[in-house]
Amino acid sequence: MNLAKYVEKYPILESVAEFWDKYFSCREKLLYKISSFIPSDLIKIEEFNKAFNEGRPYLDLFELKIYKKDLNPLAKIVKDDFGIKEKIKFEEKVLPIFDKLAISEDKTGFIKLIVYSSIYSHIGDLIMKNCNLVKWYEPICPVCGSRAGIGFIEGDGKKSLVCSTCYTRWGHRRTVCPICADEEQKSMKYYSTDELPGWRIEVCESCGMYLKVLDLRERNEDTPFYPLLYLSSWELDVSMENFNFRPSWFKIFYAASWLSK
């Protein structure tokens, strides 16, 4: 399903369709460019397997050098696509996990997030083509270390999570919190509504956060437009406003907040 048809299916997305069209188009350009300086043979599967077995994100264990000569053209693509004039400086010499990046909620932070998240995505795609992530089971992305932005109950009843930064998808246990991995069942609560079949909110009283999960057995709505899929069920987030829980959602939502200021 292309983006236009997806927006047509969910009228709630019409007001933000122009932004997301630019965003996904920009990502396609970035991913094409990134493949020229991060070839598939640069990501060593044996290195990833070592990190996997230690329960650590790949980029937390192995350093990947990055150069301004590669990053600056990526930043230019983002600036041109979104009409941004601000200058940006890249200080990182190796690609860190997401939590070690300084991302501000302004235009420069927006550029930086799209550039780095696209690099993470490229690495994640290379890894997913060669490695099975079904039994990762950690509450953070095996590539960049970010929390999940959305979850799924797959057709076979197993659970998967999608990274809030790079959209890498991995397996997770259904009986623990998808955010903090707390195993106390009494800490977990579940909310759903008849108006949005298949969707539910998983709330953890231990970490004070919630994640939206879509059961694909009830609603076969799998799509690579993960942030748009999240927004299509925005009514669930609105219903949580009176509760004292924070959402675990996609990083691009924070980074794009300057657009509404």
Lowest mean pLDDT among 16-30, 152-166, 186-200: 186-200
Residues 51 and 87 in one domain: yes
Secondary structure percentages of the chain, helix, strand, coil, to 5: 45, 15, 40
Has residue 103 got a pLDDT over 80?
yes
Has residue 244 got a pLDDT over 60?
yes
Has residue 55 got a pLDDT over 60?
yes
Has residue 215 got a pLDDT over 90?
yes
- What does the pLDDT read at residue 218? 93
Residues 190 and 106 in one domain: no
Out of 5-14, 44-53, 75-84, 187-196, give the one with best mean pLDDT. Answer: 75-84
Residues 188 and 223 in one domain: yes
Q: Is residue 227 part of a domain?
A: yes
- The residue from 95, 130, 165 where one domain ends is 130
Residue 125 has phi, psi (to 5 degrees) of -60, -45
Average pLDDT over residues 27-44: 95
- The residue from 130, 162, 184 where one domain ends is 130
Average pLDDT over residues 211-229: 91
- If one counts the domains in the chain, the total is 2
Residue (of 158, 118, 162) closest to 140 by Cα position: 162
- What does the pLDDT read at residue 185? 75
> How many distinct helices (H) and strands (E) make up the chain?
9, 7
Residues 104 and 162 in one domain: no
- What does the pLDDT read at residue 14? 93
Residues 31 and 90 in one domain: yes
pTM (predicted TM-score): 0.94
Q: In whole angstroms, give the CA distance from residue 117 to residue 35.
A: 14
E strand or H helix that includes residue 237: helix 234-239
Has residue 1 got a pLDDT over 60?
no
Q: Is residue 7 part of a domain?
A: no
Q: Is residue 167 part of a domain?
A: yes
Instruction: Let me know: does 148 contact 204? Beta carbons within 8 Å.
Output: no
Has residue 91 got a pLDDT over 90?
no
- The residue from 130, 160, 192 where one domain ends is 130
Q: 232-235 contacts: CB < 8 A, separation 24 or more?
A: 232/10, 232/12, 232/13, 233/196, 233/199, 234/12, 235/193, 235/195, 235/196
Q: In whole angstroms, give the CA distance from residue 150 to residue 137.
A: 15
The whole-chain average pLDDT of the chain stands at 93
Question: How far from 85 is each of 75, 77, 78, 183, 255, CA to CA, in Å?
Answer: 11, 12, 10, 47, 16
- What does the pLDDT read at residue 3? 85
Q: Is residue 259 part of a domain?
A: no
pLDDT band at 220 (very low <50, low <70, confident <90, very high): confident
Average pLDDT over residues 13-26: 94
Structural domain including 87 reads 14-130
Residue (of 30, 226, 58) closest to 127 by Cα position: 58
Measure the CA dihedral 7/221/230/71, to 10°: -80
Q: Is residue 8 part of a domain?
A: no
